[in-house]
């Protein structure tokens, strides 16, 4: 049996239907009508202990609703969920001991206390063993480079410092599962990198199962081994990061910087995607154009100063899937 199972889960929200126009709005004060929205619909997946899973989807896809059900904050309308053998909303207290949660946009920190006091507060709240607590605070302080701000009140910390502190707090009691919701939002590249490395190290050291929700595909690329994608509350895709990335293997990009050109490349399998002064980017289909053919055409048509060959980024594969589902045009660089 898998460590986390989501089995045919649907979650509906009932919300007040507000008609347009003042007169109609006033009339509904007496006679309210509601509409039912399925935020998650017949969703099933399972996750093994120690997996690093990216849970992605466009805005409004149902990600937060799923995380809220997994953490026991809300209950499904139908279907079942089990995490580590527990039904999260039935065993909320017991479940809380097994999970750590970090919401990038919400804080668990007390703004007047320094971090070291907040650590102690959480130790007492979870009843964490003192030896384990000391080991964890040392390890997290080291890995997240928190020495310099442990004794400052939280209100004086920068966004990046606060986020590192949030992570440490969520993990002090050694949870089996870590839920991360947009953990790197608004952070600079150095702090993002620290956090991503930390999560991987944590998983390696403690086999923590990680479920990460993010719109930043670099988070996915650097933290996760598997991607689950949902849209309109239903499962769209569930595969390893490696096979997800191989979806882009049927094309690559070549960026040609030049001093002069006779005319742009124009043959089947080479599409001009971006035209800048002295730089063109083409999308190449390797089944239609061989590398030899490509390079000889480029050297014939361009006075080249530089050539760069790029594989599609994971962002681009995701964008392609999102836009093909919403019927919009894709493929812009």
Ligand X SMILES: Nc1ncnc2c1ncn2[C@@H]1O[C@H](COP(=O)(O)OP(=O)(O)OP(=O)(O)O)[C@@H](O)[C@H]1O
Residues engaged in binding ligand X (CB under 6 A): 13, 15, 37, 39, 57, 59-65
Contact 265, 301 (CB under 8 A): yes
Rounded CA separation 172/139 (Å): 10
Task: CB nearer to ligand X: give 54 or 62.
Answer: 62
| Beta-strand pair 270-276/279-284 | antiparallel
Task: CB nearer to ligand X: give 176 or 216.
Answer: 216
Rounded CA separation 268/293 (Å): 12
| DSSP class per residue in 2-45 | -SEEEEEEEEEEEEE---SSHHHHHHTTTS--EEEEEEEEEEEE
- In sequence order, the 6+-apart residues with CB closer than 8 A to the CB of 70 are 4, 6, 81, 83, 88, 179, 211
C-alpha distances (whole Å) from 16 to each of 24, 31, 32, 78 are: 13, 11, 7, 22
Task: CB nearer to ligand X: give 17 or 37.
Answer: 37
CB burial readout 229-260, b (16+ within 10 A) else e = bbbbbbbbebeebeebbebeeebbbbbbebee
Task: CB nearer to ligand X: give 10 or 107.
Answer: 10
Which 3 state secondary structure label does DSSP give 213?
A: strand
CB of 182 vs ligand X, minimal distance in Å: 8
CB of 215 vs ligand X, minimal distance in Å: 7
CB of 88 vs ligand X, minimal distance in Å: 16
C-alpha distances (whole Å) from 248 to each of 222, 286, 316, 318 are: 18, 11, 8, 10
CB burial readout 312-326, b (16+ within 10 A) else e = bbbebbbbebbeeee
CB of 162 vs ligand X, minimal distance in Å: 20
Task: CB nearer to ligand X: give 14 or 311.
Answer: 14
CB of 253 vs ligand X, minimal distance in Å: 28
Task: CB nearer to ligand X: give 6 or 289.
Answer: 6
Task: CB nearer to ligand X: give 36 or 159.
Answer: 36
Rounded CA separation 136/140 (Å): 6
CB of 228 vs ligand X, minimal distance in Å: 12
Locate 176 and state its tokens: 């089996």
CB of 87 vs ligand X, minimal distance in Å: 20
Task: CB nearer to ligand X: give 65 or 203.
Answer: 65
CB of 319 vs ligand X, minimal distance in Å: 15
């Amino acid at each position: 049996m898998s460590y986390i199972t989501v089995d045919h889960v649907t979650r509906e929200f009932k919300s007040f239907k507000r008609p347009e126009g003042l007169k109609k709005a006033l009339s509904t004060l007496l006679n309210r009508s509601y509409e039912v929205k399925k935020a998650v619909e017949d969703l099933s997946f399972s996750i093994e202990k120690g997996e690093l899973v990216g849970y992605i989807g466009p805005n409004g896809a149902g990600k937060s609703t799923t995380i809220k059900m997994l953490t026991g904050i809300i209950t499904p309308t139908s279907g079942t969920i089990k995490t580590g053998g527990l039904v999260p909303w039935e065993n909320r207290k017991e479940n809380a001991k097994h999970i750590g949660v970090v919401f990038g946009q919400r804080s668990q920190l007390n703004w007047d206390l320094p971090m070291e006091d907040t650590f102690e507060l959480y130790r007492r709240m979870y009843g964490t063993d003192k030896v384990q607590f000391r080991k964890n605070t040392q390890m997290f302080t080291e890995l997240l480079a928190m020495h310099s701000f442990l004794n400052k009140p939280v209100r004086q910390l920068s966004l990046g410092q606060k986020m590192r502190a949030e992570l440490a707090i969520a993990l002090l009691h050694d949870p089996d599962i870590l839920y991360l919701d947009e953990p790197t939002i608004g952070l600079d590249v150095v702090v993002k990198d620290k956090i991503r490395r930390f999560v991987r190290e944590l998983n390696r050291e403690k086999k923590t199962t990680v479920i990460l929700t993010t719109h930043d595909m670099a988070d996915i690329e650097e933290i996760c081994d598997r991607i689950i994608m949902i849209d309109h509350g239903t499962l769209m895709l569930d595969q390893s990061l490696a096979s997800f990335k191989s979806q882009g293997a049927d094309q690559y990009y070549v960026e040609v910087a030049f001093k002069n050109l006779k005319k742009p490349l124009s043959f089947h399998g080479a599409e001009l995607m971006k035209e800048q002064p002295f730089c063109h980017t083409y999308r190449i289909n390797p089944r239609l154009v061989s590398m030899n053919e490509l390079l000889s055409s480029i050297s014939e048509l361009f006075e080249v100063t530089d050539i760069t060959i790029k594989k599609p980024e994971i962002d681009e594969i995701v964008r392609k899937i999102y836009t093909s589902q919403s019927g919009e045009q894709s493929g812009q660089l």
